[in-house]
């Protein structure tokens, strides 16, 4: 009889339950041999493989006894353990959170944005998910370094889709969507040469410090996120008003955000900001659960860099690094003109592992051959034409790179930057223009609003609102007052460029594309598309008339 048969046979015997108490064999008083029994009282002599002498059981029979005892012990242990209330259920592949995601996952606005991201915005959200692995690791490191939850990384997902060059209608820029004043307050350089809000490393450092400051102020990560979006002043005033007369209101809890969001004390965009964050986190942690593709593993954004002289072009560094100009632009999106700012040394980011090689090769390049932009101080009587002839460059290149060279006369002693590199496109070296948006809006003052808050919302100065509305110097405003808000003066965003007046028309010829036309006139493709309402596909046809911003 096989071992399995033996065990089955044992199972049906009435004596099998309850299990007998196993005791050591006792000596027989009649002088006979001791009978060895298996579990459930079956004599070993009856088991297969037993010898004819019951006093000397076969080795095979003893092994069966040992196996049966071991099986019974483990099975009994499993049965006993299953009955204990203290044994936790084993859950596999369940995401962990360091934000209160699960607590608010069922909130209606959270579910709305889960459906929105997984529905109408599925294609674009997949692009965002695919970008995320390149930057996520470093962002989590910086957040952790400031004692912040790593899951705040998903703020960048809803702010910009992890795009380093994203620009909002309010002129917030970069992966973390800093406004220029806030960026400068956290050490980011923003001028006509460099916009470090686009630098994914420096901007991430600044964002972590900013979020840490907001968290320290409000005591809640969700309130900090709301303040990151809507301004600390507005969130703080809203909480203060809610707490007045309510001693039980906890101003530093995550629940406080959702209570605040149920009032009119913050804007709708801010009310939806945290639900967007939670919805994005739910999808990003388990993309396949929502029928998204799992992002591919990609190399993290490199942190290697080399210090070079001011005015050094990315074309030279690309050649020294053995890579392309496009690759260098992707690593250095903050260098607005593909040139390091003249007058000082500056770090250029490089492909992983090439810093030493590039530094050595750069040291061998003669100083006169390093610069893509020369600095020229205008002497008395000089003109753009004479300066262009001196440097062997077109006058259009000088005027494009210097707004102060576009007038008829040059101011003696003024500084001009002369593009001397043939490898960089003239359009890349064009100086960003200050654009005055002449459109005006009417704003109805709401309860709790201040002049500074309104100015910040519309990206204008307080003085411009005071002047347009003849307000007192104190900036006092009243509930229900209508304010005229005139357009701001600032570095042109995509929307501002699209809004400015055009005075040139181009008739599309056979074989032309948006890209070729944009390159011809030194404007961005996105600008042409926006100004002419070409839509996402940007389809043009022969004979079509396009407006060209100048």
The structure tokens 């043939």 sit at 422
pLDDT at 459: 65
Q: Pull the structure tokens for residue 423.
A: 């490898």
pLDDT at 317: 96
* Greater model confidence, 233 or 446: 233
Q: Which residues pair with 489 in a beta bridge?
A: 436
Question: What is the tens place of the pLDDT at every residue in 187-221?
Answer: 999 998 999 999 999 999 999 999 999 999 999 99
Are the C-beta atoms of 300 and 331 separated by less than 8 Å?
A: no
pLDDT at 443: 84
* Greater model confidence, 303 or 540: 303
Domain boundaries of the chain, sorted by first residue: 3-82, 101-290, 302-371, 375-428, 434-488, 501-549
pLDDT of 455 strictly over 60: yes
pLDDT at 537: 63
Q: CA of 383: how far to CAs of 389, 410, 414, in Å?
A: 10, 6, 12
Q: CA of 545: how far to CAs of 410, 497, 534, in Å?
A: 36, 19, 12
d(CA 337, CA 228): 29
- Which range of 87-91, 94-98, 423-427 scores highest in mean pLDDT? It is 94-98
Are the C-beta atoms of 340 and 308 separated by less than 8 Å?
A: yes
pLDDT of 112 strictly over 60: yes
% helix / strand / coil in the chain, to the nearest 5?
45, 10, 45
* Greater model confidence, 25 or 456: 456
pLDDT at 97: 92
With a threshold of 0.75, does the pTM exceed it?
Answer: no
Q: What integer best gives the mean pLDDT of the chain? A: 80
pLDDT at 464: 80
Q: Residue range 521-535: average pLDDT?
A: 68
**Which of 504, 471, 506, 496 has its CA nearest to residue 485?**
471
d(CA 189, CA 187): 6
Q: Which of 41-50, 265-274, 534-543 has the lowest mean pLDDT?
A: 41-50
State the pLDDT confidence band at 497, using cuts at 50, 70 and 90: very low
The domains spanning 375-428 and 501-549 adopt the same CATH topology: yes
Are the C-beta atoms of 104 and 258 separated by less than 8 Å?
A: yes
Q: Residue range 101-122: average pLDDT?
A: 94
Residue 415: φ, ψ to 5°:
-105, 135
Are the C-beta atoms of 135 and 156 separated by less than 8 Å?
A: yes
pLDDT of 245 strictly over 80: no
Question: What is the tens place of the pLDDT at every residue in 478-492?
Answer: 888 888 887 643 333
The β-bridge relationship of strands 545-549 and 502-507 is antiparallel
Q: Residue range 306-314: average pLDDT?
A: 94
**Which of 298, 284, 289 has its CA nearest to residue 133?**
298
- Into which CATH architecture does domain 501-549 fall? Roll (3.10)
Q: In whole angstroms, what separates CA 469 from the centre of its chain?
A: 40
Q: Which residues pair with 545 in a beta bridge?
A: 507
Residue 18: is the preceding peptide bond cis (ω within 30°)?
A: yes
pLDDT of 330 strictly over 90: yes
Continuous segment of H or E residues that includes residue 222: helix 221-230
Residue 474: other Cβ atoms inside 10 A = 8
Continuous segment of H or E residues that includes residue 485: strand 482-486
**Fold classified for 434-488:** Membrane-bound Lytic Murein Transglycosylase D; Chain A (3.10.350)
Q: CA of 325: how far to CAs of 168, 318, 337, 426, 515, in Å?
A: 26, 6, 12, 15, 17
Q: Residue range 274-286: average pLDDT?
A: 97
Continuous segment of H or E residues that includes residue 464: helix 462-469
Beta strands in 206-364 (DSSP E): 305-308, 346-349
The full length of the chain comes to 550
pLDDT of 228 strictly over 90: yes
DSSP-derived secondary structure letter, 178: B
Q: Which residues pair with 485 in a beta bridge?
A: 441
Specify burial of residue 369 (Cβ count, 10 A radius: 0-12, 13-18, 19+): exposed
State the pLDDT confidence band at 449, using cuts at 50, 70 and 90: confident
pLDDT of 344 strictly over 70: yes
CATH 1.10.530.10 fits 101-290, yes or no: yes
State the pLDDT confidence band at 169, using cuts at 50, 70 and 90: confident
Q: Helix (H, G, I), strand (E, B), or coil: what is residue 194? A: strand
Question: What is the tens place of the pLDDT at every residue in 32-82?
Answer: 444 545 444 545 444 444 444 444 455 555 555 555 555 555 445 544 544
Question: What is the tens place of the pLDDT at every residue in 115-168?
Answer: 999 999 999 999 999 999 999 999 999 999 999 999 999 999 999 999 999 988
* Greater model confidence, 183 or 539: 183
Q: What is the CA radius of gyration of the chain?
A: 37
- Into which CATH architecture does domain 375-428 fall? Roll (3.10)
pLDDT at 407: 81
pLDDT at 516: 77
């Amino acid at each position: 009889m096989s071992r399995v048969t033996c065990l089955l046979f044992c199972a049906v015997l009435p004596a099998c339950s309850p299990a007998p108490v196993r005791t050591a064999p006792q000596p027989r008083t009649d002088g006979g041999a001791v009978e060895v029994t298996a579990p459930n009282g079956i004599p070993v002599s009856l088991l297969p493989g037993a010898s004819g002498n019951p006093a000397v059981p076969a080795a095979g029979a003893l092994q069966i006894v040992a196996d049966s005892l071991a099986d019974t012990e483990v099975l009994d242990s499993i049965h006993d353990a299953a009955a204990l209330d203290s044994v936790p259920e084993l859950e596999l592949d369940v995401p962990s959170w360091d934000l209160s995601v699960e607590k608010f996952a069922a909130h209606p606005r959270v579910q709305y944005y889960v459906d929105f991201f997984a529905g109408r915005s599925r294609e674009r959200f997949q692009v965002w998910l695919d970008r995320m692995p390149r930057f996520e690791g470093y962002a989590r490191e910086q957040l952790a370094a400031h004692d912040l939850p790593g899951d705040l990384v998903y703020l960048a997902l809803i702010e910009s889709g992890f795009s380093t060059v994203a620009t909002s209608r309010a002129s917030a820029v970069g992966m973390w969507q800093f406004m220029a004043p806030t960026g400068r307050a956290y050490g980011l350089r923003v001028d006509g040469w460099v916009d470090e809000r686009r630098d994914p490393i420096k901007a991430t450092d600044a964002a972590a410090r900013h979020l840490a400051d907001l968290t320290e102020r409000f005591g809640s990560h969700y309130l900090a996120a709301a303040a990151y979006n809507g301004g600390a002043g507005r969130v703080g005033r809203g909480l203060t008003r809610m707490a007045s007369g309510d001693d039980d209101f906890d101003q530093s809890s995550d629940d406080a955000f959702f209570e605040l969001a149920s009032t009119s004390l913050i804007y709708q965009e801010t009310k939806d900001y945290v639900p967007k964050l939670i919805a994005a986190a739910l999808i990003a942690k388990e993309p396949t659960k929502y029928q998204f593709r799992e992002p591919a593993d990609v190399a993290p954004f490199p942190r290697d860099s080399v210090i070079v002289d001011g005015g050094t072009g990315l074309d030279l560094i690309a050649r020294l690094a053995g890579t392309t100009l496009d690759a260098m632009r992707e690593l250095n999106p903050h260098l607005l003109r593909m040139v390091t700012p003249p007058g000082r040394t500056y770090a250029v980011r490089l492909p992983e592992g090439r810093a030493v090689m590039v530094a050595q090769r750069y040291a061998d390049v003669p100083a006169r051959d390093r610069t893509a932009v020369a600095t020229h101080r205008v002497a008395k009587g000089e003109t753009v034409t004479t300066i262009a002839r001196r440097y062997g460059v077109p006058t259009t290149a000088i005027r494009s790179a210097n707004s102060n060279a576009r007038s008829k006369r040059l101011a003696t002693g003024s500084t001009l930057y002369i593009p001397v590199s043939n490898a960089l496109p003239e359009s890349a070296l064009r100086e960003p223009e200050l654009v005055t948006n002449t459109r005006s809006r009417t704003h109805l003052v709401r309860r709790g609003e201040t002049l500074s808050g309104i100015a910040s919302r519309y990206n204008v100065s307080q003085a411009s609102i005071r002047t347009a509305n003849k307000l007192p110097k104190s900036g006092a405003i009243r509930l229900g007052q209508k304010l005229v808000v005139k357009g701001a003066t600032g570095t042109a965003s995509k929307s501002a460029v699209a809004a400015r007046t055009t005075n040139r028309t181009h008739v599309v010829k056979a074989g032309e594309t948006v890209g070729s036309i944009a390159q011809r006139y030194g404007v961005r493709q996105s600008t042409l598309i926006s100004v002419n309402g070409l839509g996402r596909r940007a389809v043009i046809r022969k004979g079509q008339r396009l407006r060209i911003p100048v």
